[in-house]
Structure 1
Amino acid sequence: MIVVAGESLIDLVPQRGGEPLPMLLPRLGGGPYNTAVALGRLGAPVTFCSRVSTDGFGEALLAGLRTAGVGTSLVQRGPEPTTLAVAAIEADGSAGYGFYVQGSADRLFELPPPLPDSVRALAFGTCSLVLEPGATAYEALLRREAGRGVFTLLDPNIRAGLIPDPDAYRARFAGWLPYVSLLKLSEDDAEWLGGVPVGPAAVVLTRGGDGLTLRTRAGLELSVPAAPVTVADTIGAGDTVNAALLHSLAARNALSADALPGLDADGWSEVLGFAARAAAVTCSRTGAEPPYASELNG
């Protein structure tokens, strides 16, 4: 089983037209939430670990998880409101966000008991590693489970507007790296962090229309091109990459500290190519709508 830990929220996605302001379409979202849904749609056994509001948005988020086949036994609940993210879509389909996070339910996440022995991998990312007091609980979960030998994926998915002290965050981020098996980050993340970090067994860098690049601790470096697609927007594309990487590595029995370094260039090329194709499907749709396994067959 794969566990995805982090926030869920509602993306408010602008629609074309509308004066003086565009209409905003509410969509289920949040980086970790999207990753969990994408894994479920790919057919992976996955459970979401978070704290979700009991409001109407929270109920819709849970329904979305269940529809995608994602387990919710590790979801905590609370009466506080659901986080909102207002998206701004650029001409090239890239998205920026403004967040409404004060007093929201996911910020009050508490460290759960040790995860079941059946958990093969644990994924983290985005706002959940920034917003306190929940960020400290997620960090403790990362350190504890990595110390027990669980494979970990980290996607920082930097949202600079939520980070009051960039230097303090960068130092904290560096402290996570010894506990990370696979680091996935975008070119924008790498630039904000001051470069592509070293330390994890493997680092996957997403480069938008230029594809994906891999660097491993063993010295392997390779790239695959992006899959051609007409971009509606890029919401959820990076989250889909997370899910596709985990799903594809699991299919190769490579979700362990011992197995990952044994994956050769051909194996990694297949893993990255699958992730590129999955992300392209997401980019072809408005909002975070990752593909189903049937859409990627062949």
Structure 2
Amino acid sequence: MTVLVIGEALVDVVTRPGQDPEPHAGGSPFNVAIGLSRLDVPTVLAAQIGGDRHGDGLRWALDDSHVTLAALSPVPDRTSTANATLGEDGSASYEFDLTWDPDGLPDPSAFDAVHVGSLGTALQPGAKLVAGLVTGADALGVPVSYDPNIRLTVEPDPQVWRAVFDAIAPHATILKMSDEDADTLFPGEAPADLARRLAAEHGIVAITCGSQGSLIAAGTAFASVPPADVRVVDTIGAGDSFMAAMLSWCAMYDWPSADELDDTELTDLALYASSAAAITCSRPGADPPWTAELTP
């Protein structure tokens, strides 16, 4: 059981109120790969990482969490960065400096599942390769998961993100998005209604709603859970930890189809993923939990 994760790996330079900037390993696909591997799912991350000091730090972090790196060429001159500024409530806003132009991607037929998301699906020229791989994986019957994780500071046009969603979502059996993503993609539609509608079309769908908890729908089943009680240090990587835990739960149950899940099972899944996100919120930077910290 090996999952291929594709997309950006970068350094989050985090600025907290009244403190000096502090670097942390990050990038949504990078965080998902770390989270999956820490939950005992063998994981390969396909990413471009520079040969600089920041790149060394990313490679060390992957190795420390037992993630296999499929290094993509060309090797950039410098590792991508995201400047994350934290508000008093721990929420983060981002500005990015990154490159995504791989020459090629791994063959999805060598893996049990594929996860894509965020800038790796939207930033050209690499996004075109990701879309092609997703189509190929679907044709092979390899489960695909997708988290749009929209970053309007990099691509400010919502129509671009909607076009990406329309291209990738039909090939995905597991979708996860935040309520902010949902508002960009489907403005004005209530999260619960959206989750049910997308589940009827795509499979297992989760929408995270911050302090309002999370929703998961699959087929005709539906679950809504409150957020876990936690002292928030920051929210960096919380959604990625939710995504990783959601995928690890699906891996534990051999990638169930949407019609195999009932309300109780979806509630178990939502609580498991929410617990992972809460643990990440309780410590600085994107630092997802290990299996020993998270009991399904």
TM value normalised by structure 2: 0.91
- Aligned pair 1:269/2:267, yes or no? yes
- Aligned pair 1:110/2:103, yes or no? yes
Equivalent residue of 1:47, what SS?
strand
Given candidates 163, 168, 183, the residue that maps to 1:176 is 168
- Tell me if the contact between 1:224 and 1:272 (Cα under 8 Å) persists in the aligned partners: yes
- Tell me if the contact between 2:143 and 2:173 (Cα under 8 Å) persists in the aligned partners: yes
- Aligned pair 1:63/2:60, yes or no? yes
Aligned counterparts of 1:41 and 1:76: Cα–Cα separation in 2: 26
Partner residue, 1:224: 225
- Aligned pair 1:54/2:47, yes or no? no
Aligned counterparts of 2:106 and 2:66: Cα–Cα separation in 1: 23
Aligned counterparts of 1:79 and 1:228: Cα–Cα separation in 2: 41
Equivalent residue of 1:192, what SS?
helix
- Aligned pair 1:72/2:69, yes or no? yes
- Higher mean alpha-carbon deviation, 32-41 vs 52-61, is at 52-61
- Tell me if the contact between 1:126 and 1:155 (Cα under 8 Å) persists in the aligned partners: yes
Amino acid at match of 1:247: S
Same amino acid, percent of matched pairs: 34
Aligned counterparts of 2:265 and 2:72: Cα–Cα separation in 1: 34
Once the two structures are TM-superposed, the CA of residue 110 in structure 1 deviates from its matched residue by 3.0
Q: How many residues align?
A: 285
Q: CA RMSD in A?
A: 1.7
What per-residue deviation string (whole Å, max 9, x for no partner) do you get for residues 245-280 of structure 1? 010111111x25xx3420222221111111011110
Equivalent residue of 2:90, what SS?
coil
- Aligned pair 1:154/2:154, yes or no? no
- Tell me if the contact between 1:204 and 1:213 (Cα under 8 Å) persists in the aligned partners: yes
- Tell me if the contact between 1:57 and 1:82 (Cα under 8 Å) persists in the aligned partners: yes
Once the two structures are TM-superposed, the CA of residue 74 in structure 1 deviates from its matched residue by 5.4
Given candidates 131, 140, 163, the residue that maps to 1:139 is 131
Equivalent residue of 1:184, what SS?
strand
What per-residue deviation string (whole Å, max 9, x for no partner) do you get for residues 151-201 of structure 1? 111101111121143223312321222101111000000001124362311
- Tell me if the contact between 1:130 and 1:162 (Cα under 8 Å) persists in the aligned partners: no
TM value normalised by structure 1: 0.90
Map of 1:1-298 to 2, 5 A cutoff?
1-17=2-18, 22-73=19-70, 75-76=72-73, 78-101=75-98, 104=99, 107-117=100-110, 119-194=111-186, 195=189, 196=194, 198=198, 199-216=201-218, 218-253=219-254, 255=255, 259-297=257-295
What per-residue deviation string (whole Å, max 9, x for no partner) do you get for residues 100-159 of structure 1? 22xx3xx11233242344x22111111111211111111111111121111111101111
Amino acid at match of 2:277: A
Could you tell me which runs of 5 or more consecutive residues in structure 2 were left unpaired when the two chains were aligned: none
Amino acid at match of 1:295: E
- Tell me if the contact between 1:95 and 1:234 (Cα under 8 Å) persists in the aligned partners: yes
- Tell me if the contact between 1:111 and 1:138 (Cα under 8 Å) persists in the aligned partners: no
- Tell me if the contact between 1:54 and 1:77 (Cα under 8 Å) persists in the aligned partners: no
Amino acid at match of 1:241: F
Once the two structures are TM-superposed, the CA of residue 219 in structure 1 deviates from its matched residue by 2.1
